A and B are shown apart, each in its own frame.
Chain A
Amino acid sequence: MLREIGFAMTAAGLMVASLAHANQNQLELQQNPEYWATQLGNYQGNRYSELDQINRDNVGELRSAWQFSTGVLRGHEGGPLYVGDGRLYIHTPFPNKVFALDVEDEGRVVWSYEPDQDSRVIPVMCCDTVNRGLAYADGRLFLGQSDNTLIALDAETGELLWDVSNGDHTVGETNTMSPLVVHDKVIVGISGGEYGIRGHMTAYDVETGEQVWRGYSTGPDDEVLIDPETTTMLGEPIGEADLGVSTWPEGEWERGGGAPWGWITYDPELDLIYYGTGNPGTWNPEQRTKDGEPADNKWAITVFARDPNNGEVKWVYQKVPFDEWDYDGVNENQLIDVEFEGEQRKGLAIIDRTGFGFLLDRESGELLVAEKFAPETNWADSYDMETGRPNVNEQYSTYRQGVGVNTTDICPTAMGAKNMQPTAFSPKTGLIYAGINRICMNYEPFETEYIAGQPYVGATLTMMPAPAQDGDMEGRLGSFIAWDPVAGETVWEIDERFAVWSGALATAGDLAFYGTLEGHVKAVDIESGEELWRFKTPSGIIGNVNTFMHEGKQYLAVLSGVGGWAGIGLAAGLEDPEEGLGAVSAFSALGDYTKLGGVLTVFALPD
């Protein structure tokens, strides 16, 4: 129903829009339920498919149609695109190969592309050489290479159309994210929060690769593209100028991180893009105080709503002022329309690093809901809904505990209660489906010195499984949950041995899909969470489960290939909190279950 209205509106809007903006092709494609034209399925980031050929009655018969080895070993994030031309477009981690595979010929390689990159970028990537995938519009594929080169390829031939440098890996800037095409611009952020970089979001012309605008995450208003008179915070104008400078000790904003390396979502009606910024530079909070007092370090860990045409900031919401835990605020902003206290609201929901599930009004930036989806979360007891600030628990404040003090049993860990793995939202159930991490940490800040191109971390941390409640799987490190974003409650939960680091999918076939770090793809009943089907791929899954229809047949496709931060932190297992320092871990080591290797697996029902 909703989709039909969407079609009609697009058709009517196209004539006008094509005059104002060169390119509405991506919007058109993603409104066709047979396609998977953008990494998150649609601009709203819903990862929801209207397809129901595969449904809860027949999913048990789902089987592998064909598999394709990428020949690349490290962590495979992101997923395949399908835009109706009979091909799947996939990418790999460094060296960032791109393949066009023939869906009708069991994945025959139609063309492939491999950029030539300086391998010195590898050691400055904090958390494996991952890449979250391609973007597509109007016959062009866009890819952000590890070395910050943004490229456009001709989707027909794989020929390079243009390339442009978005950053400098010799100072620790790298790229892991998937760009997003909005109108005639391709928009991309940057990684490097662990190297003291200064984060930015930048738009390039899809035709030429020319830079159109850049908005920084820290620094003076004219570089962040804030107008303190019109840009709002919790519904009110910011008022004070240059908070991106004044909320830092002298000059620290220049290495203040705020790297926006996660997903971008977009509301075509409001014409606003949404994304979150990462941690504020060094993990040692002491070095980010001002006059000996905690300072907000704006605009790190902040949700930005920007005009995609010129980058101007409509509103901001800082989720964690003065970070003390590396709660990198990049998690995707799901755009969902909800009924809140009897009123229809244009909502924005976040399953956040912090363990809190947020709901905001995406037009005004007002905070509506902030409740824990990971019940072990203890760094803050709650959020003050008036000020939008967390009520931090002193016991777990690494700043209050001090430099050189090991603050123990903080939940969640710096990996976050959820990391980059994107969530799904079903308009039929009104619920968000999310793979989450159930891991806590000890965190010890230490003084560190900034040297360009070298890690600027300033804290050591050790991780352990989150405490289990009665009925939970013993020693579990992850869960897959159904979350009510309005009530702020978990509806059902499935425990998993390891963090669930793959992107979820929800479908009109009453199914939710996700992958596990051991390498299973699982289908569960979207209402109850009951497992209905599983398939073991050759390696752990940190990619996203995507679906599409070709010649009347629905397919499911996922990249497996373990790695990412999960592959670094969990490979050897975690410490048992009950044992002393140095005890052999009683908890599962990922390395006992899975090894490297990138493979695309495509599934379908038997003919």
Chain B
Amino acid sequence: MTVFIGVSGRSLILTAVLGLGLPLAGFVSPAVADEHRVTGEAPGAFVVEDDRVDPNTYEGYIAYTRVCMACHGPDGLGSSFAPSLIRAAERRGWADFAGTIAAGREVQPGQVMPSFADDPYVLANMENIFSYMRARGEGGLGRGRPKIIESMQEETEAPQEGAESDEAVHDEKADG
């Protein structure tokens, strides 16, 4: 069992081998919750635990799928015409990643990354998208729609920055 916690600027990756007979949730939640709170403000923070993620990274997946996937392909993998954002998040820092979303980029006529500066939904979710991409890269998160780490669910009760589409999260909860 592996737990990844990434923090922007530096990368803290904890690999815990759970041969200890401890219940997973009991072992992970306090540490994860603490870590999450401490680094919650830092762009690109993420928690990956057995292909489950923290609520912000989950929001990043939803926002990515809504807004970015049509060009950048499923799960951040890139398409025939637009690059993988997993790689982009790795190679470019937060400032460059956010700057490109805000300002756009014209590679050549017809191959254009549009500016999302006038899209409040995207602006509010930039950090979450960055978290999701780093979770996909450094965090080793798999393809497809991740589930939210159950012990971190209640954090979605608190108003989140840019969580305009957190109805999806609520649905998860209602269902789970």
Contact = CB atoms under 8 A, between A and B. Distances in A.
Interface of A: 72-75, 93-95, 119-120, 122-123, 125-129, 194, 402-406, 442, 444, 446-449, 451, 454-455, 457, 460, 462-463, 540, 562-563, 566-569, 571-572, 575, 580-583, 590-591, 594-596
14 contacts: A123-B71, A126-B70, A128-B81, A403-B171, A404-B175, A448-B167, A449-B167, A463-B74, A562-B80, A569-B74, A582-B51, A582-B141, A582-B143, A591-B80
A582 B137 CA distance: 11
A120 B51 CA distance: 35
B41 interface: no
Given A403-B171, A455-B66, A582-B140, A571 B79 contact: yes
Given A455-B70, A569-B74, A571-B80, A405 B143 contact: no
B110 interface: yes
A447 B51 contact: no
Nearest to B80: A567
B159 interface: no
Given A74-B110, A581-B144, A571 B77 contact: yes
Contacts of A463: 74
B124 to A, nearest CB: 12
B112 to A, nearest CB: 5
A448 B106 CA distance: 31
B111 interface: yes
A402 B73 contact: no
Contacts of A451: 121
B84 interface: yes
Nearest to B65: A460
A72 B110 contact: yes
B92 interface: no
A194 B109 CA distance: 25
A125 B70 contact: yes
Contacts of A462: 74, 143-145
Interface residues on B, range: 35 or more
Contacts of A403: 171, 175
Contacts of A594: 80
B142 interface: yes
Nearest to A564: B80
A126 B65 CA distance: 11
Interface of B: 51, 62, 65-67, 69-71, 73-75, 77-81, 84, 106, 108-112, 114, 116, 119, 121, 140-145, 164-165, 167-168, 170-172, 174-176
Given A94-B110, A122-B112, A455 B67 contact: yes
Contacts of B121: 451, 454
- Nearest first, the 9 A-B pairs at minimum CB distance are A582-B142, A567-B80, A572-B77, A404-B175, A581-B142, A568-B79, A460-B145, A446-B168, A123-B114
A21 B77 CA distance: 52
Contacts of B73: 568-569, 571-572
Contacts of B74: 462-463, 568-569, 572
A595 B74 CA distance: 18
A572 B81 contact: no
Contact of B70 (A75, A127, A572): A127
A128 B69 CA distance: 11
Nearest to A517: B80
Given A444-B145, A582-B140, A568 B80 contact: yes
Contacts of B176: 404
Contact of B66 (A73, A457, A568): A457
Contacts of B145: 406, 444, 460, 462
Given A404-B172, A567-B79, A572 B84 contact: yes
A107 B174 CA distance: 62
Given A126-B70, A571-B77, A404 B171 contact: yes
Contacts of A73: 81, 108, 110-111
Contact of A596 (B67, B77, B80, B142): B80
A460 B171 CA distance: 14
Contacts of A569: 73-74
Contacts of B165: 448-449
